Amino acid sequence: MADVLVVGELKNGELKKISKELTSAARKIADAIGGKVHTLIITDNVDAFAGDLKAVGADAVIGANLGEFSPEGYANGIFAVIQEKKPAVVLMPHSAQGKEYSARVAIKANAGIVADAVALSVDGGKVVAKKPIYSGKAYANFKVSSDIQMFTVRANSQEVTPKDGAGAVEKSGASVGEVRTKSLSKDLSGGNKVQLADASIIVSGGRGIKGPENWPIIQDLADTLGAALGASRATVDAGWISHSHQVGQTGKTVSPNCYIACGISGAIQHLAGMGSSKYIVAINKDGDAPIFKVATYGVVADLFEVVPALTSEFKKVLG
Amino acid sequence: MKIVVLVKQVPDTETNIKVGDKSINEAGVKWIISPYDEFAIEEGIRIREKSGGEVIAISLGPDRVVEALRTAYAMGVDRAVHVKVDDYVTFDSTYTSELLANFIKAENADVIIGGRQSIDTDSSQVVVQIAERLNVPHVAMALKLEFDGNKVTATREIEGGTEVVETSAPLAVTAQKGLNEPRYPSLKGIMSAKKKPVDVKKPDELGATGSKLEVVSLEPPPPRIAGRKLEAADAQGFASQLVKALREEAKVI
pLDDT at B195: 95
Picking from B216, B219, B231 by the largest number of A CB atoms within 10 A of its own CB, the best residue to mutate is B216
User: Is the per-residue pLDDT at A192 higher than 80?
Assistant: no
**Are B46 and B118 in the same domain?**
yes
**Are B161 and B251 in the same domain?**
no
Domain containing residue B235: 222-253
**Are B192 and B236 in the same domain?**
no
B204–A contact, CB cutoff 8 A = no
ipTM: 0.96
Asked whether residue B216 is assigned to any structural domain, the reply reads no
Task: Check the annotation: does A43 bind a ligand.
Answer: no
Nearest to B217 among A141, A301, A310 (CB): A141
What is the rounded distance in angstroms from the CA atom of residue A282 to the CA atom of residue A260?
Answer: 6
Asked whether residue B77 is assigned to any structural domain, the reply reads yes
B233–A contact, CB cutoff 8 A = no
> How many residues does this entry show for chain B?
253
Regions in chain B scoring below 70 on pLDDT: none
pLDDT at A191: 67
**Are B86 and B140 in the same domain?**
yes
**Are B200 and B230 in the same domain?**
no
Q: A65: distance to nearest CA of chain B, Å?
A: 21
Asked whether residue B130 is assigned to any structural domain, the reply reads yes
B51–A contact, CB cutoff 8 A = no
Output Rg (C-alpha) for chain A, integer angstroms: 21
Task: Check the annotation: does A97 bind a ligand.
Answer: no
Q: What is the pLDDT of residues A37-61, one digit of tens each?
A: 999 999 999 999 999 999 999 999 9
A287–B contact, CB cutoff 8 A = yes
Q: B195: distance to nearest CA of chain A, Å?
A: 32
Asked whether residue B191 is assigned to any structural domain, the reply reads yes
Asked whether residue B196 is assigned to any structural domain, the reply reads yes
pLDDT at A194: 83
Picking from B94, B157, B164 by the largest number of A CB atoms within 10 A of its own CB, the best residue to mutate is B94
Interface contact B214-A181, CB threshold 8 A: no
Q: Which amino acid is at B68?
A: A
Write out the DSSP string of B122-172. ----HHHHHHHHHT--EEEEEEEEEEETTEEEEEEEETTEEEEEEEESSEE
In chain A, the residue whose alpha carbon lies closest to the alpha carbon of B124 is A99
If one counts the domains in chain B, the total is 2
Task: Check the annotation: does A263 bind a ligand.
Answer: yes
User: Is the per-residue pLDDT at A108 higher than 80?
Assistant: yes
Domains of chain A as residue ranges with CATH: 4-171 (3.40.50.620), 196-318 (3.40.50.1220)
pLDDT band at residue A84 using 50, 70 and 90 as cut-offs: very high
Asked whether residue B217 is assigned to any structural domain, the reply reads no
User: Is the per-residue pLDDT at A1 higher than 90?
Assistant: no
Q: What is the pLDDT of residues A200-249, one digit of tens each?
A: 999 999 999 999 999 999 999 999 999 999 999 999 999 999 988 999 99
**Are B49 and B101 in the same domain?**
yes
A98–B contact, CB cutoff 8 A = no
Question: How many other C-beta atoms can be found within 10 angstroms of the C-beta atom of residue A119?
Answer: 16
**Are B69 and B192 in the same domain?**
yes
Secondary structure letter of residue A56 according to DSSP: B
**Are B196 and B229 in the same domain?**
no
pLDDT at B42: 98
**Are B176 and B56 in the same domain?**
yes
CB A128 within 8 A of CB A143: yes
pLDDT at A95: 96
Q: Give the CATH number of the domain where residue B166 resides.
A: 3.40.50.620
Model confidence, pTM: 0.95
What is the rounded distance in angstroms from the CA atom of residue A103 to the CA atom of residue A106?
Answer: 5
**Are B226 and B173 in the same domain?**
no
User: Is the per-residue pLDDT at A103 higher than 80?
Assistant: yes
CB A214 within 8 A of CB A188: no
Interface contact B162-A186, CB threshold 8 A: yes
Mean pLDDT of chain A: 96
Asked whether residue B51 is assigned to any structural domain, the reply reads yes
Closest CA to A215 of A313, A286, A303: A303
**Are B178 and B248 in the same domain?**
no
**Are B182 and B111 in the same domain?**
yes
Asked whether residue B114 is assigned to any structural domain, the reply reads yes
